[in-house]
Amino acid sequence: MPKKYKIWIDEAGRWPWLGPVVACALTFNPDNLPSKDLLSKINDSKKLSEKKREEIFNELVKLSIWDNPKLFFWVWVVDNFLIDEINIKKANREAMRRAIIELQRKIEKEEIDSVLIDWNDNYNFEELGKKPIFIIGWDAKVVEIWSASIIAKVFRDAMIKTYSLLYPDLNLENHKWYGTKNHIDYLTDKTKVTGIHRTSYKPVKTVLEKKEKLLLHICCWPDATVPIMDLKDKYDITCFWYDPNIQPKKEYDKRLKAFKKVCEIECIPYIEGEYDVENFFHKIKWFEQTPEKWDKCTNCYDMRLERTSREAKKLGIKYWTTTLNISPHKDLEKLFSIWDKYSLKENLEFLKIAFRKNDWFKRSVEYTKKHNIYRQNYCWCIYSDTFDAENFSG
């Protein structure tokens, strides 16, 4: 008459935010049981110290490699990629299923009396003749479940130690892959999400979907419409109004009011920069009569971008850009040179987006008409309103 084996299954790594789930299927040899001395040492893995778990693990493994083994076991690992693809419950089932298949290479199917699993997931395995028995709380009562949990946990912990070498900044030794405060504090942005994180898990997914903060310099209200509409779904935008070149103050106030109105419509926070007219005239001194794209404008670009980069640095916002590049009258090569200079100086990243290519003028006109927002009839500074560039011969 063939032996009858009861197979016990437990897993480790079901609840963490990263790494694989590990299942162990185990059975004792009914005709050659482990010694009572070893059985007396075995307990719930959660109640044992790391050192004690590893000692028992080594003894259990040794008992499985004799000619007449005292126990049979197999471990199967399902990685975080499959967990994300099929969900943790199905991944846990797959780890258990594969452990059963491998154990059946050592034990004939007809020799298996039953399969018992700690928890109540109600899995069914086509590889078995009958459905497993699911029990809750047996991990606190059954030495075979304790043994399976010890093997699964020590195996998984060994993987943690290896991963801690690959990801030293992750501090795996402090949270063991779980959602502890150390882990939460580590996951500040998506650059901290590693190749072993379970990206389908809500805390990790939330970090990945978190919008990067962006400081958007606004040079005048109508030009702000397209950038705000195009960027707000991807970035957490803060608008920065800084244009002390706008003349006269009455005109400046009209445009500032229009700017605030659109930010309120689009629910975008904004910062109002200072109306530093003296600084503007200082920057363009001796170049007042130069035409568009000449030194007057270049120095004005520099003034506004330098101020915006400092604001981004102060706010701790890494990404920044400006609506200056919307106008086809702007020299993009000069603008890019200035952007690169201040990005490097303040350790920022500039988004070099050509807003002018996205049907910006038509869309901004439509927006201002729809919301009844003031639209100016000349560019920015007093010189753009009074100076005839075609007749300039300086």
Examine the domain organization and report whether 187 and 307 are in the same domain: no
* Listed range (76-90, 156-170, 179-193, 289-303) with the worst mean pLDDT: 289-303
Examine the domain organization and report whether 379 and 231 are in the same domain: yes
Residue 118's closest CA among 249, 244, 23? 23
Give residue 291's identity as a one-letter amino acid code. Answer: P
Threshold 0.85, pTM exceeds: no
User: Greatest CA span in the chain, whole angstroms?
Assistant: 111
Residue 326's pLDDT band (boundaries 50, 70, 90)? confident
Domain count, the chain: 3
| C-beta separation of 279 from 303 below 8 A | yes
What tokens does 284 get? 């363009």
Examine the domain organization and report whether 385 and 246 are in the same domain: yes
User: Residue 317 is part of a domain; what is its CATH number?
Assistant: 3.40.50.620
What tokens does 153 get? 């946990």
Distance, CA of 9 to CA of 119 (rounded, Å): 10
Is 322 exposed, middle or buried (CB count within 10 Å of its CB: 0-12, 13-18, 19+)?
A: buried
| C-beta separation of 256 from 218 below 8 A | no
Radius of gyration, CA atoms only, the chain = 34
Identify the domain boundary among 156, 180, 209. Answer: 209
Those residues whose C-beta lies under 8 Å from the C-beta of residue 233, and which sit 6 or more positions away, are none
Distance, CA of 171 to CA of 160 (rounded, Å): 10
89-94 contacts, C-beta under 8 A, 24 or more apart: 89/121, 91/21, 92/11, 92/14, 92/21, 92/23, 92/121, 93/121, 93/123
Examine the domain organization and report whether 11 and 64 are in the same domain: yes
Highest mean pLDDT among 1-5, 38-42, 63-67, 128-132 belongs to: 38-42
CB-facing half-sphere around the CA of 339: CA atoms within 13 A: 20
Examine the domain organization and report whether 20 and 157 are in the same domain: yes
Examine the domain organization and report whether 138 and 218 are in the same domain: no
Examine the domain organization and report whether 205 and 255 are in the same domain: no
Give residue 217's identity as a one-letter amino acid code. Answer: H
The confidence score (pLDDT) of residue 175 equals 76
Residue 139's pLDDT band (boundaries 50, 70, 90)? low
Q: Which whole number is the average pLDDT over 133-146? A: 79
Examine the domain organization and report whether 127 and 258 are in the same domain: no
Identify the domain boundary among 185, 209, 233. Answer: 209
Write out the H or E segment, with its range, that includes residue 368: helix 360-371
Mean of the per-residue pLDDT values of the chain: 86
How far, in whole angstroms, is CA 85 from its chain's centroid? Answer: 17
Examine the domain organization and report whether 163 and 260 are in the same domain: no
Examine the domain organization and report whether 192 and 226 are in the same domain: no
Query: What's the pLDDT tens digit per position in 344-373?
Result: 999 999 887 777 676 777 888 888 888 888
Query: What's the pLDDT tens digit per position in 162-215?
Result: 999 999 988 887 777 888 888 988 998 888 999 999 999 999 999 998 888 999
How far, in whole angstroms, is CA 175 from its chain's centroid? Answer: 18
Q: What letters, b where the CB count within 10 A reaches 16 and e where it falls short, cover 36-56?
A: eebeebbbebeebeeeebbeb
204 lies in which domain range? 170-209
Examine the domain organization and report whether 259 and 358 are in the same domain: yes
The confidence score (pLDDT) of residue 74 equals 96
Examine the domain organization and report whether 241 and 294 are in the same domain: yes
